[in-house]
Chains A and B, each alone.
Chain A
């Protein structure tokens, strides 16, 4: 059974500082996804990581994937209030076409 673990589950960030969210998964996966969810809303796709060593960046967010370590990181640079949300990582297999989600990391950015 595929398990996806995120940590931390809660992250209180200070504006302007850098932080990292970690996503570990239990078995070999083909694809790693990061999503953002605002309160009361659905998921917004942030990144899709397809191969070992993949790195993607959008604004203050950067995601990377190490398939050998079964680890993905979401790095936040110089946090701002607008980044307050819950962030989920998810993985799937090419032959088992459904997503398994981590528990989510609730981010609160304070001044």
Chain B
């Protein structure tokens, strides 16, 4: 089946530094990538949607200058948290949809998530 590889699984960074999270679709072309944020014991909150080669569309209230999303190829999307602060600590999950062997036209494949802790 479709697989989305997300790295790193967890990261601890100092306040003020930037952190990059990568998501790769391994056996299909991810025409659309979604980035979510999840606080403890809460649901997933969509941060942004990106289509390959286009600028990401951010949800209301999400700072586009703080959460930089790049979707330069059909298999790779990155989320960079710039000038991270403790309140950015969260669980970040990517999801991909697209076409290719193993990827249903009705499917969203989720990455394994990244636990970000800003100290």
Chain A residues in the interface with B (C-beta under 8 A): 31, 33, 35, 40-43, 45, 48, 50, 88, 97-104, 106
Contact = CB atoms under 8 A, between A and B. Distances in A.
Interface residues of B, number: 22
Given A101-B43, A102-B43, A45 B107 contact: yes
Nearest to B34: A98
19 contacts: A31-B106, A35-B110, A40-B115, A42-B112, A42-B113, A43-B44, A43-B93, A45-B108, A48-B107, A50-B106, A97-B49, A97-B97, A98-B46, A98-B49, A99-B34, A100-B46, A102-B43, A103-B42, A104-B43
Interface of B: 6, 32, 34, 41-44, 46, 49, 93, 95, 97, 104, 106-113, 115
A48 B106 CA distance: 8
A88 B43 contact: yes
Contacts of A88: 43-44
A50 B109 CA distance: 17
A5 to B, nearest CB: 11
Contacts of B111: 42
Contact of A101 (B32, B44, B109): B44
Nearest to B32: A97
